[in-house]
Chain A
Amino acid sequence: MTSQLFFQYLVAGITYGSIYAIVAIGFNIIYNTTGIINFAQGEFVMLGGMLAISLHSMLPLPLAIGLAVLITMLIGALIEIIFIRWLKSPSILRMIIITIGISILIREAALHVWGEGVRSLPYFNGNEITTIQLWGTNISPQVLWVISVCSIIVLLLSIFFKYTSLGQEMRACAANRLAATLCGISTKNMVTFSFMLSAGIGALAGCVVSPITYTQYDSGTGLAIKGFTVAVLGGLGNSMAAVAAGILLGIIEAFSVSVVPLAFQDAISIALLLLILFIRPHGLFGSKEAAGLKDF
């Protein structure tokens, strides 16, 4: 393999990886405060993309994206308030089933609003054939956008969860709901807030990946599966680990193409997920002790 080809695969892998990672981060936020997996996360990604595409016909791109993120956050909050907030001590399983229901609901609603067609946002810089030369390989500027948005989100999130009181309150909720309540934290508000935050991040992800992957009413599902794989791979709840795991998975997938036919790409990533679940259920970068304390 020539060095040029090596970098070409590497770049492809990083592209896949950062798309997966940016979706995985959304899973982690809700998991961090509620201990549940929000299976409607993929739909937030789709909604963000779709809303931005619709708004872009009237507004300039940055405004359209900003507004789409805000609207999706609002939808996230509404969903939590309508479907989850009023439940009295809901079990984990019940909340997960609810999120699956919500995902189907959003998907069908999107089908009615936007129809079955494929749409996409324009490339943020250049167009479909613009590339930047890097280490002798070509890379689309949009990939750089995905990577940088992904890293900025991770950076801001880790600061938010570590150093702000709101972030610490959210983490307290995840660690022990009862203790958090006793400390005077409104756990219900924290859950609503986490839905808003993950909806917003999902929507932003949906906007930056839309030019590469396209957006369709059901495109959230596929992204969610990969995002979930990556979240589990890295260790649920850890955004930094999700990025590392995402890029690792992306690179493995890309290089797998060089040896086996493309058709096996997904089989490899799912096989990897199963392997991790058997050997290291707490993820590649998670700690066994911490995982042991959680319900799920």
Chain B
Amino acid sequence: MRRFFLSAVTVLALWAMAIFIALPTAVAQAKSIKVGAILAETGGASNLGGPEARTIKMQVEQINAKGGINGDTIELIVKDSGSTPEKAISFAKQLIEEEKVLAILGPSTSGETMAIKQICEDGKTILLSCAAAEKIVNPVAKYVFKTPQKDSYAVKKIYMEMQKMGIAKIAVLAGNDGFGMAGKEQLEAIAPEMGIQIVAAEVYDKGATDLSAVVAKIKANTEIQAVVNWSIVPAQAIVVKNIRQAGWNVPIFQSHGFGNLKYVEAAGAAAEGLIFPAGRLLIADTLPADHQQKNILTQYSTEYQTKFQEPASTFGGHGYDAIMILAEAMKKAGSSDSEKVRNAIENLQGFVGTAGIFNFSPADHNGLDIESFAMLTVKDGKFVQYNEPPVLKTISVVK
């Protein structure tokens, strides 16, 4: 009896195993392609990673609902980096070595991207970063691409606006993360050729609770005609608040890291009149109907808003561009072979995304030009196109 029982169990077990082994082969008929995403859903950069993760999930659902790409569906694996490079590194290794993903979307921040740039290059895995720093694609790494506009273009755009306003001496305040530090480097590097002089530069912590002391310090320097506040962390709103609370009516320029309405809400009345460069997503509804990006921008922002009950941000747009560029390249390549897809991205021309029109080349893994930026400002708590100075009724250098 006992022997019968044992053999019955063995047979059952073998049968169960056979099913489990058989299952994956059955699924493999309709191939699913693994795509990884490392995004800062939590932590200091959550206003970036949150919308990016939601957008990418939404787009992958849509792609799969339409039958996938070349008949294959995408299996998305999202990892929350918590805005820390350490986690980004371990997730990148996991995605490349264990999951063997075709591509990694993200990370959200420049610091994290720089931490895994070499890992992706060594692992021959496509990286489509959603972070801004120019050094991500300069020098060019074979497998590394990025979807947001370069920070050097943002700097030039800001300096051009300053020239128009007759501003020559400025103060720079930057967050102490990868984005802030990279931006500060660019601001300092480009300033001389544009005839701008940085007379004060300070760095603030992403966990800062109040920055009125440093505001007092730069305000005391009467030469300063404008302040550039370069950051992606919520503390950037505190800077703006403290400057206005100090009764200082100086023009404030933000980076393209300000492109989430949440920051405007956080800064409240102090956000009025801030000037910053950003992609046209934030002003999609005011674009002329014949603008190349009009359709895609309005479609994406309406879909995002209906689904998640919050306004779309440029960051979600960077996530959108990353997944759609990958999808387009897979279609063009007609396969999910990593080399072929990579070549297809590198040769992608005239791709209309949320950040601008992408024209990739072996020398340019970003593919956007300076025209992809528009200058925006905040009016009545909303983003609008910035046209004519002066923004504030009484712009004057406080003595």
A180 to B217, CA, bound (A): 53
Residues of A within 8 A of B81 (CB): none
Segment from B29-37, B38-46, B112-120, B224-232 that makes contact with A: B38-46
A-contacting residues, B200-236, CB 8 Å: 202-205, 207, 209-214, 216-217, 219-220, 234
B244 sits at the interface (CB 8 A): yes
Closest residue of A by beta carbon distance from B235 = A214
Pair B210/A9 contact, Cβ less than 8 Å? no
Specify which of B41, B210, B211, B241 is in contact with A129 (CB 8 Å cutoff): B241
Report if A19 contacts B (CB, 8 A): yes
- Whether A128 lies near B217 (C-beta < 8 A) is no
Contact of A115 with B50 in the complex, beta carbons under 8 Å: yes
Q: B63 at interface (Cβ–Cβ under 8 A)?
A: no
Which residues of A are found within 8 Å of B49, using beta-carbon distances? Answer: 116
Q: Which residues of B contact A151 (CB under 8 A)?
A: none
* B212:A15 contact, CB within 8 angstroms: yes
| Contact of B41 with A128 in the complex, beta carbons under 8 Å | no
Counting CB contacts under 8 A, is B237 at the interface? yes
Q: Contact at A138–B42, with CB atoms within 8 Å? A: no
Q: Tell whether B247 is near chain A: CB-to-CB under 8 Å.
A: yes
Of the candidates A117, A122, A261, A265, the one whose C-beta lies within 8 Å of that of B46 is: A117
List 18 interface pairs A-B (beta carbons < 8 Å), by A numbering: A12-B213, A16-B213, A115-B50, A116-B41, A116-B42, A116-B46, A116-B47, A118-B266, A120-B266, A123-B268, A129-B241, A129-B268, A138-B246, A213-B238, A222-B209, A258-B216, A258-B217, A266-B205
| B214 x A131 contact (CB < 8 A) | no
CB 8 Å contact bits of B135-156 with A (1 = contact, 0 = none): 0000000000000000000000
**B94 contacts partner chain A, Cβ-Cβ < 8 Å:** no
* Contact across chains for A117 and B245 when beta carbons are under 8 A apart: no
Q: Output the residue of A11, A118, A209 with the most chain B CB within 10 A.
A: A118
Decide if B247 touches A138 in the complex (CB within 8 Å). Answer: yes
Asked if A192 is an interface residue, CB under 8 A from chain B, the answer is no
B269, A128: Cβ atoms under 8 Å? yes
Alpha-carbon distance between A120 and B43 when the two chains are bound, in angstroms: 17
Smallest Cβ distance from B124 to chain A, in angstroms?
Answer: 32
B101 contacts the other chain (Cβ, under 8 Å)?
no
CB neighbours of B216 from chain A (8 A)? 5, 8-9, 12, 257-258
- The reply to whether the CB of B125 lies closer than 8 angstroms to some CB of chain A is no
Which of chain B's residues have a CB closer than 8 A to the CB of A214?
234, 237-238, 266
* Interface check B378, CB cutoff 8 A: no
Q: Are B47 and A129 in contact, CB atoms less than 8 angstroms apart? A: no
Which residues 8-26 of B have a CB within 8 angstroms of A?
none
Q: Compute how far the CA of A212 lies from the CA of B268 in the bound complex, rounded to whole angstroms.
A: 12
The proximity string for A residues 210-248 relative to B, scoring 1 for CB distances below 8 Å and 0 otherwise, is 001110111100110000000000000000000000000
Chain B neighbourhood of A249, CB < 8 A: none
Bound together, the chains give a CA A5 to CA B213 distance in angstroms of 10
Does A216 contact B203, Cβ atoms closer than 8 Å?
A: no
Across the interface, do A128 and B270 meet the contact criterion of CB distance under 8 Å? yes
Bound complex: CA A103 to CA B219 (Å):
39
| Interface residue ranges of B228-260 to A (CB < 8 Å) | 234, 237-238, 241, 244-247
Residue B331 at the A interface, CB < 8 A?
Answer: no
Q: Is A169 an interface residue (CB 8 A)?
A: no
| Candidates B43, B205, B214, B245; contact of A116 at CB < 8 Å | B43
Closest residue of B by beta carbon distance from A141: B245
* Cβ of B146 to closest chain A Cβ, rounded Å: 23
Nearest 8 A/B pairs, CB to CB: A116-B46, A128-B268, A213-B209, A8-B216, A12-B213, A12-B212, A254-B213, A129-B244
Q: Does B262 contact A (CB under 8 A)?
A: yes
Q: Which residues of A contact B268 (CB under 8 A)?
A: 122-123, 127-129
A263 interface residue, CB < 8 Å from B?
Answer: yes
Residues of A within 8 A of B301 (CB): none
Q: Output the nearest chain A residue to B209 by Cβ-Cβ distance.
A: A213
- Which residues in A have their C-beta under 8 angstroms from that of B220? 2, 5, 8
Nearest B residue to A1, CB-CB: B220
Contact for A12 among B42, B43, B210, CB less than 8 A: B210
What separation, in Å, do the CA atoms of A258 and B210 have in the docked complex? 15
